[in-house]
Amino acid sequence: MENKSVLFFLVCCLSILQLGQGIWLNLPASGTKCVSEEIQTNVVVLADYTVISEDHQNMHTISSK
């Protein structure tokens, strides 16, 4: 019986978690792209940026503020 309660608790906790969201941008081969978003007060934003080129060989620079 205790195992069922623990399992139920874990399922409930996992069901309320949001796994994540992402955006995909197609950028020109050269130049800069500026992307911005309005963030409300008292909101914490965590981000992980990755650049993948079509040839999968070039390392690109990312600048964020």
Both tokens of residue 37?
A: 């978003």
Please report, rounded to a whole number, the percentage of residues in the chain having pLDDT higher than 90: 2
Check pLDDT > 60 for residue 1. Answer: no
**pLDDT value at residue 18:** 67
Rg value, the chain, Cα = 20
Q: Which among 22, 29, 34 has a CA at the least distance from the CA of 54?
A: 29
| Amino acid present at 1 | M
CA dist., res. 62 & res. 35, Å (int): 12
Domains of the chain, by residue range, sit at: 36-65
If one compares 4 and 53, the residue with the highest pLDDT of the two is: 4
Indicate the pTM of the whole model. Answer: 0.35
At 49 the pLDDT is 76
